[in-house]
Each structure stands twice: as C-alpha cells, then as structure tokens.
Amino acid sequence: MNTREHHIISRSPEETLHFGEVLGTHVTKGSVIALSGELGTGKTCLAQGIAKGLRVPEHLYVTSPSYVLVNEYAGSLRLFHLDLYRIDNVAQLDDIGIDEMLSSDDVTVIEWAEKMGDALPEERLFVSISIIDEQTRDFHLTASGQSAVDLLERCSAEYGA
C-alpha cells in the first residue's frame, strides 16, 4: 500500500484551525482522518477546521462528541465526527454503525482513533499530535492508500509546509 509521512508544526490554535480547514477543502468522498494525541493537543480544534473546510454552517458549532460518540454535520460532504475517548472496546462501535460510516461516501474524523486498533480502515490519513509547548503542536501525518497520499500532497502544497 502506498504511504507517505509529513510533519507540520502549529504554533497556535488558529494555525491548527487553519490547517484543518485546508484538510477539509481537499478531502474527498470516503476520506477517513484518524486523530491521536493526549488530552488538550488540539484534536477537536483540527476537527472544527475540517468542518469549516467542508462548509459546515457556522451556526452548527462542532464539539467533541465525548458522550454521544458521534456527531453528524451537513456540509459540502456529510461529516461524521467520532470521539472514542470513552469507549472500552471496539465492539461498542457496532452500536453506532461504524461500519456504515466508514464504507460510505462521507468524511469521517475519528478522535482517539488508536482505540480502534485493527478495525481502523487501512485507507486513511492518520494524524498523531504531540505537545511541544503550551501553544505549539507537532502534527505527524501518515497517509496510507493512494487517496490519502493524494490528500496529504494537496494539503502540504497549499499549507506551505
């Protein structure tokens, strides 16, 4: 499978939001963006930017679905935003229809994606976020599969990183 890696440094929540918006403008039908990182690294901020790039109406404030597991937003493509922080095992995802979401033409953003283990689709953009200091984050992006590699290349070119 075709893969590519890239690093992006964000020096503020505004930069994280902007990078997410760039991602959102370039995702295609069926894109899966898997986010990983400690609490407070900016996963939800990045998801908000992706929603903005997908033209989710601003009055639909994107929040982390920690208690409901998934929120759905209408935009240029439908966005499923999952937060797996509170799940104990992957079997719990069957109750929310994860297979249908991941096999659809919609965009799926998954916070705490590492909890899915082998259930995470092979074709994806995996974003591991690390804290450098109070404002600065390191985004380690790993694209797996041709559509994810293409997404990463388009975003890298536009974002200028």
Give the CATH number for residue 88: 3.40.50.300
Domain membership of residue 109 (yes or no) is yes
Q: What is the DSSP letter of 121?
A: -
Domain membership of residue 29 (yes or no) is yes
Domain membership of residue 142 (yes or no) is no
Domain membership of residue 3 (yes or no) is no
Please check the confidence at residue 161 and state whether its pLDDT lies above 70: no
Looking at the structure of the chain, the number of domains it has is: 1
Domain membership of residue 46 (yes or no) is yes
**Residue spans of beta strands (DSSP E) within 1-133:** 3-10, 32-37, 70-73, 79-83, 107-111, 124-131
Percent of the residues in the chain that have a pLDDT greater than 70, as a whole number: 98
Of the two residues 71 and 99, the one the predictor is more confident about is 71
Domain region containing 87: 14-133
Please check the confidence at residue 11 and state whether its pLDDT lies above 90: yes
pTM of the model: 0.93
Domain membership of residue 51 (yes or no) is yes
pLDDT for the residue numbered 90:
76
CB atoms within 10 A of CB 12: 13
Query: What pLDDT, in 10s, does the model give residues 17-40?
Result: 999 999 999 999 999 999 999 999
User: Which strand (E) or helix (H) includes residue 31?
Assistant: none
Q: What is the DSSP letter of 13?
A: H
Question: Helix or strand or coil: residue 122?
Answer: coil
Confidence category of residue 79, pLDDT binned at 50, 70, 90 = very high
pLDDT for the residue numbered 150:
93
Query: What pLDDT, in 10s, does the model give residues 49-70?
Result: 999 999 999 888 888 877 678 8
Domain membership of residue 150 (yes or no) is no
Please check the confidence at residue 86 and state whether its pLDDT lies above 60: yes
Domain membership of residue 154 (yes or no) is no
Percent of the residues in the chain that have a pLDDT greater than 90, as a whole number: 71
